[in-house]
Structure 1
């Protein structure tokens, strides 16, 4: 595993990816970004996500892009490897942005259950697509943490 992590390998190519770094967005671009977040976008979710994107300070998006190009990156994988508290990573099975193969290859010894949790049938926002399943997974993780701290 290379350090710092290879961001070019961590993410999948998708037309909506660059939009998060673009200062001004057309209505069509905001809609594309919103629909890309969930596997089966519901109008209510799409409207909410589109509104979030439209109401974000445009300078935030462009400055994020600028910082990615010039600022030194913290090695998040190294930070997680050194973490002395449990942590979980949850990905949607059909996430169009995240490269699962890259994530599964990361050496993360403190990872809950020793693996990344994959939510079947979900895209990038499993907490929106399957909130009951996501909440159950989160509660199970929290219960594990509670038991570890209070035997």
Structure 2
């Protein structure tokens, strides 16, 4: 499932797998693995930790892995153990800041919303122009009949 579609140069994340909840630092987190296809055709694998209760997601500064194919990335994600996930969460929490990945996700979401609004406005202009053209054509047909 693709969660983010941005413009050229913006990441497209594909959720690979969701894991059981992990408790750390007084909070429960839902780990999820995502894939991001690179320009060279390889796939970066990211682990994102979503706190239960509405806090900001936690992510590392860089990918956890890079695999040559989507299938290998899916296999990597399927083989992750609870101990690995707990260790990855601990590393991400130690950074104690929102990494660039989360910022890029938010930026891309806002860009997508702006694009959708811009496209809707353009479509409305085109619909209005089409209505005017149809009215002019109807008037011309009526004039031609008389």
TMscore range, shorter length: under 0.3
Structure holding more helix per residue? 1
Structure holding more strand per residue? 2
Higher RCO, Cα 8 Å, sep 6+? 1
TM (norm. structure 2) is 0.24
Q: Radius of gyration: which is bigger?
A: 2
